[in-house]
Chains A and B, each alone.
Chain A
Amino acid sequence: MNFGVIRFPGSCDEVDAVLACERVPGASAQLLWHGDRHLHGVDAVVVPGGFSYGDYLRVGAIARFSPVMESVIEFSREGGLVLGICNGFQVLCEAGLLPGALLPNVELRFICRQVNLEVVRATSPFTTDCEAGDILSIPVKHTTGRYYAPPDVLQSLDAHGQIVLKYAHDGNPNGSSNDIAGVRNEVGNVFGLMPHPEHAVDELSGSTDGLKIFTSMAHADA
């Protein structure tokens, strides 16, 4: 499994994402430059956290039109696995690869803390190493993390099993609709979440639960 992690101007979590991917047994990872249309034959794409293109206009709005994203959209249409973390989630929503949008946190504050996530769906390629009902301890750090989708879309997400992760134990930090922390597309090969699994891959930082997202992707690809 060779992961490709995109680096936009303003990305800040791409190096941690590479390190997380490299912790998956047998996997390798490389950075993909935003201005390069070529995905260099990677098996999966990670769109990392940060502030792509300064997040000007709206979060993710400009990055969504970068050359590399054209190829990522094509890659996803062919069934390739695409993981969007935080700003990457926002980019995938703006690109129309995932339903909904991310809005400013209800409290308007930057939130940086460990949260508990409930695995709602363990059948997605991003959570096969989990069991439904598992609680994952993973940090969030964002100002614009309130997941929003209109009521009919929320209903459809629920009906199609697209809600993969929820904030657990009444711990919704940002006012997200239905406590949603991560959603996938209808086909299941594109997944975005606001929490940062790449920051929870070593006991030193308090949890290794985030690693399960990356190992699940490798198992899905195998």
Chain B
Amino acid sequence: MRARVLVRPKEGILDPQGVAVQRALPALGFEGVANVHIGRLIELDVEDPSQLEAMCQKLLVNPLIEDYEILGDVPA
């Protein structure tokens, strides 16, 4: 199964990449943009999707600083 894990900086933790992009957009004429956060997208083929949660907890995510969302069975 093709799975997708979205990893985001935890709410409330300063995300300087997001801040930098948010500042860059108005300079290009894109107004009205707020709350830009930059995370990570992990795509993987897994035989046993029930292991995804444990993979996130053990390696893919540092739960102290990141939140995550597992999207199972996405189109390859």
Q: Which residue of B14, B17, B62 is within 8 Å of A101 (Cβ)?
A: B62
Q: Does B26 contact A (CB under 8 A)?
A: no
Chain A residues with Cβ below 8 Å from B64 are: 100-101, 148-150
Determine which of A61, A101, A108 lies in contact with B16 in the assembled complex, contact meaning CB atoms within 8 Å: A108
Give Cα A150–Cα B17 distance, bound, in whole angstroms. 20
Q: Complex formed: what's the CA distance from A41 to B12 in Å?
A: 44
Q: Are B59 and A65 in contact (CB under 8 A)?
A: yes
For A104, list chain B residues within 8 Å (CB): 16-17
Contact, CB under 8 Å: A101 / B59:
no
Give the chain B neighbours of A101 by CB distance below 8 A.
62, 64-65
Measured in the bound complex, the distance between the Cα atoms of B17 and A57 in whole Å is: 16
Instruction: Flag whether A94 is at the interface (Cβ < 8 A).
Output: yes
Q: How close is A58's CB to chain B, nearest CB, in angstroms?
A: 6
Judge whether A57 and B59 touch: CB under 8 Å.
Answer: yes
With contacts A57-B60, A61-B62, A148-B65 taken as known, whether A103 is within 8 angstroms of B17 at the C-beta atoms is no
Kindly identify which residue among A94, A106, A175 contacts B62, using a CB–CB cutoff of 8 Å: A94
Contact A61 B13 (CB under 8 A): no
Q: How far is the CB of A31 from chain B (nearest CB, A)?
A: 26
Residue of B nearest to A106 (CB): B16
| Complex alpha-carbon distance, A221 and B21, angstroms | 49
A170 on the B face (CB < 8 A): no
Bound-state CA distance A58–B39 (Å) is 12
Q: Does A123 belong to the interface (CB within 8 Å)?
A: no
A-B contact pairs, 14 of them (CB 8 A): A57-B59, A61-B59, A65-B59, A100-B64, A103-B13, A103-B65, A104-B16, A104-B17, A105-B16, A107-B16, A108-B16, A148-B13, A149-B64, A150-B64
Additional A-B contact list (10), CB under 8 Å, known A103-B65, A106-B14, A148-B64 = A62-B59, A101-B62, A101-B65, A104-B16, A105-B16, A106-B16, A107-B16, A148-B65, A149-B64, A150-B64
